[in-house]
A and B are shown apart, each in its own frame.
Chain A
Amino acid sequence: MKTPSNSIKRRFALKFLRTLVRIRKSTHQPSPSQSSTWEIRRRAQRIKLAAYSSMARTVGSKRAWSRALTMKLRAAMGNRPWSMIKQESKKMTRRKLIAKRKRHMEKDLNSGVQELRRLVPGGQWMDPLSLMQETAHFLRCLETQVRVMRSIVAEGEGFPC
């Protein structure tokens, strides 16, 4: 099984930390009491997007899930709404793509795969076997992301991780 390596962890950590520094610079108030709850929440959203986007960029265009996630994040960050069809239509015509997705959704009734397709970026467009492979890789990367974030928080909060 292809699993993300330590280099993914390192490259993700670097990208994410750089983004954190940038976010801090652009949102830091001279005195802590000036950061309202609302500002903190809003920055938390930015940090969350930065985490997913840093991971997607680390994995690059190698996996279908990272490509789909990149497109989704671009939409979330305010660019025009993305279309998976546009992205995938280099390989297949629009009509075939929609038919393919419909086939996947029909076959998946009652098998529990439907929810997985929703949870894995780009999952609705994958054949079942690819879906499983992408899921395994996506899961490992997500766990790596969480582990790195945990250790950053631990450093910041002053406790050993």
Chain B
Amino acid sequence: MSSGGGRRTSSTGSTIQQPRSASRISDDQIIDLVSKLRDVLPEIRNHSSDRVSASKVLQETCSHIKRLHREVDDLSERLSQLLSTIDANSAEAAIIRSLIRQ
């Protein structure tokens, strides 16, 4: 883990300030992070550049998580609607079909 004071330029080309009190996220960790999250985030994958900044990755990750939570909210509402309108047989059939499709 890198430590020490002053400014350094990382391999991504962005400047990272290293505080004296030892490591913030180091360059290696940032590269590791980018490669891990790049596979998971479609937005970053499309840009497919090694020079995407760590903060952009973090931003995209946070937006993505929040977006997914909102979608869970919406899908839960719709499921609740469905449970009230669907009759027992159709509900069971739909559930079995869902299971088969997974």
Contacts and interface: CB of A to CB of B under 8 A. Distances in A.
Interface of A: 1, 9-10, 13-14, 17, 20-21, 23-24, 27-29, 32, 35, 39-41, 43-45, 47-48, 51-52, 107-108, 111-113, 115-116, 119-120, 128-129, 132-133, 135-136, 138-140, 142-143, 145-146, 148-153, 155-157, 161
Contact of B78 (A24, A29, A138, A157): A157
Contacts of A136: 36-37, 40
Contacts of A51: 72, 75-76
Given A28-B84, A116-B62, A143-B68, A155 B94 contact: yes
B79 A149 contact: yes
The SS class assigned to the A binding surface is helix
Nearest to B55: A112
Give the size category of B's interface with A.
35 or more
B46 interface: no
B32 A132 contact: yes
Contacts of B32: 129, 132
Most A CB contacts (10 A, CB to CB) among B39, B69, B95 go to: B95
Contacts of A149: 72, 75-76, 79
14 contacts: A17-B99, A32-B84, A40-B84, A44-B73, A44-B79, A48-B76, A112-B58, A128-B29, A142-B69, A149-B75, A152-B79, A152-B98, A155-B98, A155-B101
Nearest to A36: B84
Contact of A43 (B37, B66, B83): B83
B24 interface: yes
